[in-house]
């Protein structure tokens, strides 16, 4: 992470969120079921994982994609989950998964060349300090013929609920806060992804749009989860500002709020795949 992002993440992880739960726990309890878990099987399928393979999950977080990888490779397979955030890994280690959890950065993967049959990454590339170097590293640790699958959020304009929230943040708090919230959608452009892959000397790239959605049990759950997210709003707004955001969100997100109070809207993704040449 950059120095600004590192400071932001430290502040967010140090601050209590949603009672006594850590931000990583809130992430696992709220973000994973609302958004990330359904994508695990999509990315694992895009990587064409098979029983017995050795697979690396880069920026694994609390293990949403890692779980799907384990399902695909089975007990005879071998799975490594790597993340730069120790608290995320602490939560991941509580899962009953046969996974080697490692702390490390995508730009300097702590593995030898040609160590894995497949490398996968779900919603992490947008936040890497050096995206091209991270992609090079993922290809480096792939065995010849190994497959890469990387998912990123599609453009913000194709996720109407988050677009409305970004507009609200702009009006309430200005560009600095709104742009931090927009960061996860920064790679939602097929041409940009193609350029990044080209700069990383990756050939045979295939980029596909996949439909997806977000569903939170309540607007309060959505805002609380964003408060715990170290890579967007975590550490940027104080308690009073989050209270103001929640109050103003009632009207702004009304079109996406059901009679049961749940909030849902589309959030598609782009999945990039490639093979390391034989």
pLDDT at 15: 39
pTM reported for the whole predicted model: 0.89
Which residues does residue 274 pair with via DSSP β-bridges, in sequence order? 148
Distance CA 181, CA 172 (A): 13
Distance CA 126, CA 187 (A): 6
pLDDT in tens, 16-63: 444 567 888 888 988 888 888 999 999 999 999 999 999 999 999 999
pLDDT in tens, 196-224: 999 999 999 999 999 999 999 999 999 98
Closest CA relative to residue 185, chosen from 231, 153, 214, 160 = 153
* Residue 95 pLDDT level (bands cut at 50, 70, 90): very high
Domains and CATH numbers, the chain: 3-275 (3.40.50.150)
Q: Environment class of residue 76 by beta-carbon count within 10 Å: exposed (0-12), middle (13-18) or buried (19+)? A: exposed
Mean pLDDT confidence for 139-147: 98
pLDDT at 227: 84
pLDDT at 9: 35
* Residue 83 pLDDT level (bands cut at 50, 70, 90): very high
Q: Of the ranges 17-21, 118-122, 180-184, which one carries the lowest mean pLDDT score?
A: 17-21
2 has pLDDT over 50: no
Task: Render 72-127 in DSSP notation, one character per residue.
Answer: HH-TTSEEEEEES-HHHHHHHTTS---EEEEE--GGG-SS-TT-EEEEEEES-GGG
């Amino acid at each position: 992470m950059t120095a600004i992002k590192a400071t932001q993440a430290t502040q967010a992880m140090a601050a209590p969120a949603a009672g006594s739960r850590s931000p990583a726990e809130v992430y696992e309890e709220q973000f994973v079921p609302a958004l990330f878990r359904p994508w695990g099987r999509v990315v694992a399928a895009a990587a064409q994982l098979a029983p017995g393979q050795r697979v690396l999950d880069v920026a694994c977080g609390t293990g949403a994609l890692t779980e799907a990888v384990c399902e695909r490779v089975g007990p005879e397979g071998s799975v490594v989950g790597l993340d730069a955030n120790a608290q995320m890994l602490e939560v991941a280690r509580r899962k009953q998964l046969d996974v080697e959890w490692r702390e490390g950065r995508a730009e300097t993967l702590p593995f030898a060349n040609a160590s894995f049959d497949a490398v996968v990454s779900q919603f992490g590339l947008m936040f890497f300090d050096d995206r091209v170097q991270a992609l090079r590293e993922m290809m480096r640790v792939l065995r010849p013929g190994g497959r890469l699958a990387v998912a990123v959020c599609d453009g913000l304009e194709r996720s109407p609920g988050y677009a409305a929230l970004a507009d609200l943040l702009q009006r309430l708090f200005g560009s600095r806060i709104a742009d931090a919230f927009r960061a996860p959608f920064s790679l939602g452009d097929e041409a940009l992804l193609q350029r990044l892959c080209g700069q990383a000397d990756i050939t045979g790239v295939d980029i596909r749009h996949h439909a997806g959605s977000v569903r939170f049990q309540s607007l309060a759950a959505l805002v609380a989860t964003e408060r715990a997210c170290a890579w967007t709003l975590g550490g940027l707004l104080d308690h009073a500002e989050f209270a103001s955001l929640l109050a103003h969100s009632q009207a702004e997100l009304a079109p996406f709020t059901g009679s049961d109070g749940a909030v849902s809207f589309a959030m598609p993704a782009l999945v990039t795949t490639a093979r390391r040449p034989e």
